[in-house]
Every structure is written in C-alpha cells, then in structure tokens.
Structure 1
C-alpha cells in the first residue's frame, strides 16, 4: 500500500465494529527468531494515525495467546498506536518445551526474560516512540522481572492482573518454593502440576468463573482454540511452578521494584482467584512511579476481556495514564 492508501484503509477500519474472531485487516502475523534460533509468533499493526501516537508491545499470560486480546489491541491501534503482540516461547503457536502438547513448561523464567530483551531491543529500533510495554498475568510477571533486572527501559508500563503472587495456600513464599522443589525431584519436572479435566484438552467445568463474567468473550477463546488447535494449553508443569516461585522471590527482594524508574500502571481485581491482588497492589506501591486501578467482585482475572462496563473503565484508565505520563509528541 502507498501512504495514501494506508491512511484511507485506517480511516475506513476505524468506522467498523471490532470483530474479535478475525485477524484485523491491517494486522499482519509473522514469526521472529530468538537468539538461540527458536521461532515465535508475532502480530503487528501499523500506526493508527500519522504521526504515530507511539508504539505498544503487548505480551499475554500463561496458557494465553494474542488472539484473545485482538479487541483491546485493535482499539489501541485505532487510537493511533503502532501495536505489536507476541507469544512466549513454549506457548500458543510457538511450540512446547515439555513432553506433551498441552502441559506448559519452561526450564527457567530467565529464558523468557532473555527473549523479551532480545525482542525489545530490535522492536524499539524499528518503531516510533514513546515505547510502552503492556502485559497480562504471567506476562506481567516477566515484564516486572525485566524491569527489575534492568534489561528493558520502556517509557511506560501497563500490567493487567499481573502474576506477582500466585493464588494458593496461605503459606510463606519460601515454604511454597521448598515444596515445589521437592515435587520436581520426586517425579519429572515436566509433568502437570494440577489436574486439568477428565479428558485431555477439555476445558475444566468452572474455568469460565475464574476468568470473566462475559460469556461471549469467554466463548471467543474456545472459538480460537477450535480454529487454531495449536493454541491449546493445559496445566503448568511442576518445573514451571518451582521456577515461578523462584522468580517471585527475586521480585520480592528488598529494593528490587523500588529501583525501577518507570511509570507503571497496575490494573488488578480483589476478586482474582488465580493471582494475588494483594501482591499487585503492593507492587503499585513499591514501584516509585506506580499507580493502581482496582476492581472488586465485578471483575474476574481477565479484566481486558470482562463485560463492557468493566473493560471500558480499564481501557479508559490505560488511555488516561498514557496520555498523562507519555504525552503525544508534537
């Protein structure tokens, strides 16, 4: 497309409703290579206006895939942002690292931090600023690790229901980590850490109640998994659990988050049954430039895929935050 043709296409697209079950017409899917040659998926939108408002890189959670967030990503694009999303290695359409096609395994969260650094360095060099890093759940954990480790320096960060503490037994983190270490020793660390369902690959009966109040948006995920079977993922491995606790202990270290000099917006819900809201709220306090948007019983874990009223408040909060901390360049 010429520049003029692209501008016309963008203008026409903005007028249309967002189809959550189709790759947007201006988005393009491709693959990129990590430093070790592992191939991962990505999806890119051109800037939704000229000049570009800036660029946003979005990273999903554990067992997630970027198709689930097409609505929010397209909305950001229509607001003028150049948008990119990508898989984590071993998830969605980017292969598996365990012994089967469903269990989510990783040898170390450091591998994901390294992948993010490699992708970020190249992406920043080829996209207009300001540069924003956004992520959901486990993606938020890895982004927080990358910030604490000092391997990325975005202009702003948005974390949706970040996995800064996992829901589970009310025991000290060190004790939970010790138990997970034992479980990786008494059996294969790649084996599932929890039961998924009676039939491999079938969704647990009450999974919807953990994620969103919006039936249609929940069904979108199932539709994409049926259309693209390679996206399906079940439980995490015991190796994943042990490494998650180990990485969380790094984030909990005194002074870790306090050294991050980046504006960070944390969006969390007290009703979350998958990650600890208390840990997310505490992180918003620990980041020197941290802010918190908090929800109650009206929101489950997937806030960006919730009912319209909840989702609208979250998206409006993101836009307000970005307009304030990274204003458009004149």
Structure 2
C-alpha cells in the first residue's frame, strides 16, 4: 500500500503531526501548515490510504474503504518514520481533525511520542439518526464476511460532498473563501476527491469509536476545539471524553461548523494561537 506524506521543515520549535479527516488530502492543509510555520513549527501531514493521492483499495475509487482502523496506525507509523528520516525537529506535537482525531486518540493510547495534542471536531462517535444506528450495526455485521462490505454505507454514494452541495447550507464552514479553497482543489484535480464510506469502513469506525470510549483519557495535555454548529461528528462523546480528561480542555467556537481550521479568519487565528500556546508550554 503506497501512501503519501508532505512536510514543511521551516520552524525549529518542534514538529506538528497534522492528521487529516476522512475524504481529505494534503493540499487542503496548505494554509493550516502556513499558520503553524508562522508560529515557529515545522509540519508533516499525510494522505491516508484510500484517499487523496494514496493508493485506494477498491476498483471504485470514490468509495472510502478500510477493513480495520489498525490500517491507519500503520500509515501513521510510516509517517513518523518519514519525519525521522527527514530530520524534522523535535519535540513532536499532534493536531488531528475529525477521523484524524479518532486515529490520533488511538495513537496516544499506544504511546506515540508527542508532548501535547490539539483536536478539531474529533470523530469519537459517528453522527447518525437514532433509528439508523441499529440498522447500520446490523447491516455492517451482515455484510462484513461478504463482498457487500465494499458497498457504500446507507445514505451515501460516490458523489464528493464539496462538488455536490452549494455553499449555502453546507455543514463544513461558514466562510465562503475557505469553502471555495476546498472545493476548487477537488474540482481542479478530480483524483483528490472521495465519496461516501464503504460498509466495511463504517463497521470499522463504529468498532474503533466504541473501543476508544472504554479507555481512560491519555495523560497528555490537550485542547479539543468544537464548533457549536457541528453537524458531522457526534458531539456527545466529545463532551464526555473532555469532561474526563484531567489535563484537557474543551474549547467551544460559537457558530462554527465542522472545519475549525477552514473557518473565518478570526476563528482560525484563535485556533492556531491557542494550539501554539499549548505547544509552547509543553516543549520541555
């Protein structure tokens, strides 16, 4: 499996391991990397398997698919090795968005060496209608041993969200410029696009979220940023997790949607300022 990484070796305070969400690509985080570099940090980020320009497992390139979330930990380990090989400065810090927040929390639980972590709308629970949850669990369990596991999860399909819906009413950002920034990347380079997840991905995600929920919070300083207009991830597990994180803080952004790093300039400044302050305080 071939994955893809990119790094900005431009700050000497340390290196931020930037973990994207589902459907995302390295290019989407170009501006975020610039914000971190401006605050003195180098950055490395990744195209997870099955998205961006990394290898995709299924003939249908638009289906986001893994068999288990342990596969993402293999990708993360390869990313860490790339950071070592490139000589990126230490200490290391984590910044993880959405699905990357799920992958990142597991990485912290298994001892990936970072000094502090910042989460943005982490996927610690799958948002779906109450009636759909038992249906999803049943359907994914029945499909698991068959090729049906490669089919799209309920209510999803091959269309890319950014190209499918208009700015008005989208669930990602309230900032029109950042919406255009994200949309134009996929429109100009269609190979970066991704549609809905496979049934296998959904089953793996439900299992991983449940497994992580049963574990105590890791002993590491953390901030979790969450918009009050969040509609993509399940917010209840986020509030529950941060309430039990002794050296963690839940940071709410009034009116912000899912993409805190792709929100209005004032929201983005607040987010990156607070992230850098946490990293600065934990460099020793």
TM-score (norm 2): 0.90
Structure 1 residue 322 and structure 2 residue 282: aligned? no
Asked if the contact 1:72–1:304 (Cα under 8 Å) also holds between the matched residues in 2, the reply is yes
Structure 1 residue 169 and structure 2 residue 129: aligned? yes
Asked if the contact 1:44–1:84 (Cα under 8 Å) also holds between the matched residues in 2, the reply is yes
Structure 1 unaligned residues grouped into runs of 5+: 1-37
Asked if the contact 1:264–1:284 (Cα under 8 Å) also holds between the matched residues in 2, the reply is no
Asked if the contact 1:194–1:236 (Cα under 8 Å) also holds between the matched residues in 2, the reply is no
* Secondary structure at the counterpart of residue 129 of structure 2: coil
Structure 1 residue 69 and structure 2 residue 5: aligned? no
Distance in 1 of aligned mates of 2:250 and 2:202: 27
Residues 201 and 277 (structure 1), Cα distance of their counterparts in 2 relative to 1, 3 Å cut: closer
How many matched pairs?
Answer: 281
Distance in 1 of aligned mates of 2:276 and 2:206: 32
Q: Which residue of 2 aligns with 1:220?
A: 181
In the TM superposition, what is the alpha-carbon distance from 1:184 to its structure 2 partner?
A: 4.0
In the TM superposition, what is the alpha-carbon distance from 1:91 to its structure 2 partner?
A: 0.8
Instruction: With a CA cutoff of 8 Å and minimum separation of 6, indicate the structure with the bigger relative contact order.
Output: 2
Q: Which residue of 1 aligns with 2:216?
A: 257
Q: Which residue of 1 aligns with 2:229?
A: 271
In the alignment, which of 56, 59, 65 is matched to residue 96 of structure 1?
56
Greater radius of gyration (CA): 1
Residues 89 and 273 (structure 1), Cα distance of their counterparts in 2 relative to 1, 3 Å cut: same
Structure 1 residue 243 and structure 2 residue 204: aligned? yes
For 1:71-220, what aligned pairs fall within 5 Å after superposition?
Answer: 71-124=31-84, 126-148=87-109, 150-170=110-130, 177-184=137-144, 188-196=148-156, 200-201=159-160, 203-205=163-165, 209-220=170-181
Residues 185 and 271 (structure 1), Cα distance of their counterparts in 2 relative to 1, 3 Å cut: farther
Distance in 1 of aligned mates of 2:58 and 2:227: 31
In the TM superposition, what is the alpha-carbon distance from 1:217 to its structure 2 partner?
A: 0.8
In the TM superposition, what is the alpha-carbon distance from 1:98 to its structure 2 partner?
A: 2.2
RMSD across aligned positions (CA): 2.4
Moved over 6 A (4+): 171-175
Distance in 2 of aligned mates of 1:226 and 1:172: 32
In the TM superposition, what is the alpha-carbon distance from 1:131 to its structure 2 partner?
A: 0.6
* Secondary structure at the counterpart of residue 250 of structure 2: strand
Distance in 2 of aligned mates of 1:222 and 1:288: 38
Distance in 2 of aligned mates of 1:265 and 1:170: 29
